[in-house]
Amino acid sequence: MKASESQQADLLSLSNLDLEITRTRVAIAALTSGEAFAALRQSQRDAAASLIESRNQLDSVELELSRAEADLKLVEQRIDKDNQRLNQTSSSKDAQGIQAELETLKKRKSDLEDFELSILERKEQAEAAYQVIIHDKKLIDDELATKESENEAQIIKLRSGLDLLTQQRNQQASRIQSDLLELYEKKSSRGLAIGRLVNRECGACRITIGATALAEISGLARDEVATCPDCQAILVR
Ligand SMILES: [Zn+2]
């Protein structure tokens, strides 16, 4: 195939634009996949699960506390009632019975107060743990939000770069003769379609061309399209 040296050089520029477009697409795909945040998203899910668990623990301690408070109130009411009965009774036998019951109730009251204190201690611990988890989760949420918005900005930038590259590519392609462009596109579907011949090395496959093949290529007219004997890419001399 015949193509002027400037056409061949234009085709090489087109190939460089195509490479840049491919690299940009790969970069956009990697950013879009969000793979970089997989670990952070897992941490966020773990933190959300811990938060629920911690909230449940706190709720259960609070429930226990309200039950203990209700029990204590009942005992206190009973003590008040017994004291009233004690003041009103004139029977010493009844008074003895009431006093015995009061002793039992006071012991019960003291036990319940101790129990309530122990629950309050556990509630304090559960609250502290809950606050720590809220704090940690917020750090993760904030970090993820920042990284996602940076990622989004990067994608937007790359996409606008890709638009520009595509325009340049189409302009460049319109300057190239159709049979050469067709050959390039056919070869592109199989791999790198074009490379510059530098120091006996093919710019596409990087293989050093043997002396015989090199002599053949060198013998071709400058406007004859040469191809690499190894990778079949168009060789720009
Ligand atoms: Zn080659």
In angstroms, what is the span from residue 204 Cα to ligand 1's centroid? 5
The domain boundary residue, chosen from 121, 140, 174: 174
In angstroms, what is the span from residue 167 Cα to ligand 1's centroid? 28
Q: Are 115 and 208 within one domain?
A: no
In angstroms, what is the span from residue 8 Cα to ligand 1's centroid? 16
Q: Are 105 and 215 within one domain?
A: no
In angstroms, what is the span from residue 27 Cα to ligand 1's centroid? 26
Q: Are 157 and 230 within one domain?
A: no
In angstroms, what is the span from residue 227 Cα to ligand 1's centroid? 8
In angstroms, what is the span from residue 138 Cα to ligand 1's centroid? 55
pLDDT value for 5: 95
In angstroms, what is the span from residue 161 Cα to ligand 1's centroid? 30
Q: How confident is the model over 208-233, as a mean pLDDT?
A: 96
In angstroms, what is the span from residue 194 Cα to ligand 1's centroid? 8
Q: Provide the whole-model pTM.
A: 0.74
In angstroms, what is the span from residue 54 Cα to ligand 1's centroid? 64
Q: Are 131 and 52 within one domain?
A: yes
Starting at the edge strand found earlier in the chain, the sheet holding 234-236 runs: 201-202, 194-198, 234-236, 226-227
In angstroms, what is the span from residue 147 Cα to ligand 1's centroid? 42
Torsion angle, alpha carbons of 3, 7, 10, 11, to 10: -20
Model pLDDT for residues 19-77, shown as the tens digit of each residue = 999 999 999 999 999 899 999 999 999 999 999 999 999 999 999 999 999 999 999 99
CATH number of the domain enclosing 97: 1.10.287.1490
Q: What is the 3-state secondary structure (H, E, C) of the chain?
A: CECCHHHHHHHHHHHHHHHHHHHHHHHHHHHHHCHHHHHHHHHHHHHHHHHHHHHHHHHHHHHHHHHHHHHHHHHHHHHHHHHHHHHHCCCHHHHHHHHHHHHHHHHHHHHHHHHHHHHHHHHHHHHHHHHHHHHHHHHHHHHHHHHHHHHHHHHHHHHHHHHHHHHHHHHHHHCCCHHHHHHHHHHHCCCCCEEEEECCEECCCCCECCHHHHHHHHHCCCCECEECCCCCCEEEC
The domain boundary residue, chosen from 122, 155, 174: 174
Q: Are 81 and 114 within one domain?
A: yes
In angstroms, what is the span from residue 199 Cα to ligand 1's centroid? 13
Q: Domain tally for the chain?
A: 2
The domain boundary residue, chosen from 124, 156, 174: 174
Q: State the residue range of the domain holding 112.
A: 30-174
Model pLDDT for residues 84-105, shown as the tens digit of each residue = 999 999 999 999 999 999 999 9
